Amino acid sequence: MTNEELMQLAKEVSQNAYVQYSHFPVGACILTENGKVYKGCNFENSSYGLTICAERNATGSAIADGEKSFKAIAIYSPKMKKCFPCGACRQVLSEFQANEGLDVVLEDENDGLIVYKLNEIFPEGFKL
């Protein structure tokens, strides 16, 4: 699967976000080392601490299906270009990087794609 295809799926799933409080929809699409794809969108709750980010939603779906090694994640919001994952999502994703590291695929200011390695944007994650 290409980065463009991952981003298209992230765009599509962002439309399913439940964001009645922030009005900030996000979609994420994870590609595993085994070639499987998992989508997630953010969903909010009136008890704000219970809100789940799109990236962690997709991660949970992959884990529930037995996948624990990720090659790439595309993240999209129609409200913001370069919609980077929050710190909590960066920490969660750092647990599941494939050997060569996780590609973080974002849409740039010109509607093109820009790719970062997770280690570039989260260099010192917590590890046991």
Structure tokens at 37: 């794809």
Active site positions, annotated: 55
Beta-bridge mates of residue 9: none
CA–CA dist 89, 106 (Å, integer): 15
Q: Give, rounded to a whole angstrom, the gap between the first and last alpha carbons of the chain.
A: 32
